[in-house]
Chain A
Amino acid sequence: MKKLAILGAMTVAGLSAGVVSAATLDDVKARGKLNCGVTTGLVGFAAPNANGEWEGFDVGVCRAVAAAVLGDPTAVEFVPTTGKTRFTALASGEIDMLARNTTWTFSRDVDLGFEFVGINYYDGQGFMVPKELGVSSAKELDGATVCIQTGTTTELNLADYFRKNNISYEPVPIETNAEAQPLYLEGACDVYTTDASGLAATRAAFENPGDHVVLPEIISKEPLGPLVRHGDNEWGDVVRWTLNALIAAEEYGVTSANVADMASAAGDSPEINRLLGTEGTLGAMLGLEPDWAVKAISAGGNYGELFEKNIGENTPIGLARGLNAQWTEGGLLYSPPFR
């Protein structure tokens, strides 16, 4: 009788275990809300504004996906995650997707069981030091105390870089960007290192940004992109092609201002027509409405608009497009064709 009970329990367990891996797309639609993992606060990428609404470059991706799937860019539950908690949050299903300056690496993709759907920012690791130290190159940092966010690729790059150049340093591990700022400003560490975009965003929040310089060395490749769980390809496709739609929209000149016009009737360009759903059935193939991309683009604009609004040269963060320009303008952004 005891055996029977255990067998019964195992069956129940087996059934309930199956439920967890159900299609995320259906879950999101049923819930009516997208759970999107973001940073705990990095101005320009993801941070709550004065009204408590999340905004930023990564937040824009979340909103675009929510708009494409649910038709409502505000139907997003933002879940702040630290460098340490982000992967557990995604793997456990607490969040549907992670858009949090996360570097696409081999082991994260293969071993941790995640699927990077694309790259929304090509970045590299840099160093920031106070100007008064008179340092002009990272190679002069022998013996320096370095503040670093734990649980990130930057931590490993840093160890590699200093080992390769045979110079010593003293790591000060900290958990979030917000904790790093006072330590760096009080002088508890000489150097703050993270992705160059993150340095720019952090420096922009300082009282006197001009007192600090970002050193010229970029010591790593940091392709940042949104990611989802491995094994749910339908959901992965939705996020991947939403990101591609934003990139393609910029290439084709579709903006949040003209998207409604262009989508009202089929135009001359077949590519744009397919993207905006006035021709073909791309939306249905994804399991979404035909005008999914229209909603995604209207949510916050195309890739270029998101960039300029949140982190571009006219914002306090002031990042140039650089590698993140369209391929037609010498950058690396290149969306596969919509057909």
Chain B
Amino acid sequence: MSTISDPPSGSFQLSMLINDTRYRSYTFQFIALILLILAFAYLGYNLLANLQAAGLNISYQFLGEPAGYDINQTLIPYTSQSSHWQASLVGVLNTLLVAFLGCLMATVIGVIVGVLRLSDNWLIRQLMSVYVEIFRNVPVLIWILIIMAVFIAVLPQPRDFRGDDPEATMFLNAFAFTGRGFYAPAPIFGPGSVAVIAVFLASIAGIFAFRNYAKKALYERGQLIPTFWPSLAIFFLPAITAYFIFGRPITLEYPELRGFNFQGGIFMRNSLIALWFALSIYTAAFIAENVRAGILAVSKGQTEAAASLGLRPGRIMNLVVLPQALRVIIPPLISQYLNLTKNSSLAIAVGYMDLTGTLGGITLNQTGRAIEAIFLLMLFYLAISLAISAIMNVYNNAVKLKER
């Protein structure tokens, strides 16, 4: 209270704390602060007292103990003898995986739909409106469940691939689309494959360099260099040439039906696909609206000016409208990414073992450490969200209007 009781003038009276508008707001804020602190102190004390009364304590020792349960999708080595902490990390990585894939796909779909909603074609415009309205207005949990149910019911199960006259066959003898997930050939890197990968990475860098060069040529000399076909050529040709020069070091491992399931190859579980797809199309509906808003925020005069210079509609969009629209699109896009990441905690509905499924689900349940696990869970999500926010803000600073 000492800061408040230091009066600027000599004649400060205690009643001025209420009656003087200069001090009144401070008084009320201070009271509110004290009440807030008291409320938290009360809750914290109540928690500790109740835990003590029940003979429990707060301890994170369980994190070091063996988890004892298995997880189907593990991006890092994990067995049922690994610790609960390791299980939590498996969950974090699974959350990050589906969030990353989801954000990527949601952005692609969202931008396409957002642009098409402004199309001159009546039919396309209406179709996109229907998409946005349907997906935006049904809870994402329901979409997750619907997609999973359709997935399991429509696609054949591994047992349908069996027998002399099977109900289902593999696509190109390499891909199997089953109700349990998709199986695809996995690359096996033999000796010499490092060189092929290096060439491939170099060609990707080459694509960026080429595109930069093309951009420069356009801005400085007004020379229009086609980029699509050359990019495609740079992407494929050097890597394929290197592949044959080094004696085909990379081979494929094909999935094949052995026992109950397909074995070998890359396996993408139905739970991951359903969750990924549901989160993507749901969030894409919101992103589409952001994109539409961003494009509409660019004055129509810009489009008309570009058109009068003789630019085609595609170029107007890419060179004039979208770069300016991005400034409006990015900030709400960040919050959509955060929403998608947090919505991924619905994963348990389809049995995807994300952070909520491992740390906030099985670990919590098997150890009974509900308060500790939930605190840690909140911390993890907070860290993930803040990290996404930070990364996206860096990008936002790069594209936003630079005022001189």
Q: Do A and B come from one complex?
A: yes
Check if B192 is an interface residue, CB within 8 A of chain A: no
Chain B contact patch, size range: 35 or more
Query: A151 CA to B361 CA in the complex, in Å?
Result: 7
Check if B88 is an interface residue, CB within 8 A of chain A: no
Check if A111 is an interface residue, CB within 8 A of chain B: yes
Chain A residues lying within 8 Å of B34, measured Cβ to Cβ, are 2, 5
Binds B, one of A81-89, A212-220, A300-308, A322-330: A81-89
Are A84 and B365 in contact, with the CB atoms below 8 A? yes
A234 smallest CB distance to B (angstroms): 16
Binds B, one of A167-175, A236-244, A246-254, A290-298: A167-175
Query: A155 CA to B258 CA in the complex, in Å?
Result: 25
Check if B126 is an interface residue, CB within 8 A of chain A: no
Are B351 and A174 in contact, with the CB atoms below 8 A? yes
Check if A150 is an interface residue, CB within 8 A of chain B: yes
Are A143 and B261 in contact, with the CB atoms below 8 A? yes
Chain B residues lying within 8 Å of A158, measured Cβ to Cβ, are 70
Check if B3 is an interface residue, CB within 8 A of chain A: no
Contact with B along A159-186 (1 / 0, CB 8 A): 1101100000111111100000011001
Are B45 and A170 in contact, with the CB atoms below 8 A? no
Check if B362 is an interface residue, CB within 8 A of chain A: yes
Q: A156-B68, A231-B55 are in contact. Are A173 and B263 (CB under 8 A)?
A: no
Are A172 and B351 in contact, with the CB atoms below 8 A? yes
Q: A5-B38, A144-B259, A144-B261 are in contact. Are A171 and B72 (CB under 8 A)?
A: yes
Chain A residues lying within 8 Å of B45, measured Cβ to Cβ, are 9-10, 13-14, 17
Are A17 and B152 in contact, with the CB atoms below 8 A? no
Check if B49 is an interface residue, CB within 8 A of chain A: yes
Report the number of A-B residue pairs with Cβ-Cβ less than 8 Å. 137
Query: A183 CA to B270 CA in the complex, in Å?
Result: 12
Query: A84 CA to B153 CA in the complex, in Å?
Result: 27
Chain A residues lying within 8 Å of B68, measured Cβ to Cβ, are 156, 159-160
Are B54 and A173 in contact, with the CB atoms below 8 A? no
Check if B89 is an interface residue, CB within 8 A of chain A: no
Are B365 and A9 in contact, with the CB atoms below 8 A? no
Chain A residues lying within 8 Å of B348, measured Cβ to Cβ, are 150, 173, 175
Query: What are 9 pairs between A and B in contact, CB < 8 Å?
Result: A13-B49, A83-B365, A88-B370, A143-B263, A144-B260, A158-B70, A159-B80, A160-B68, A172-B72
Q: Known pairs A112-B368, A174-B351. 11 more at Cβ < 8 A?
A: A9-B45, A108-B368, A150-B348, A150-B362, A150-B365, A158-B70, A173-B353, A173-B361, A183-B152, A186-B153, A231-B53
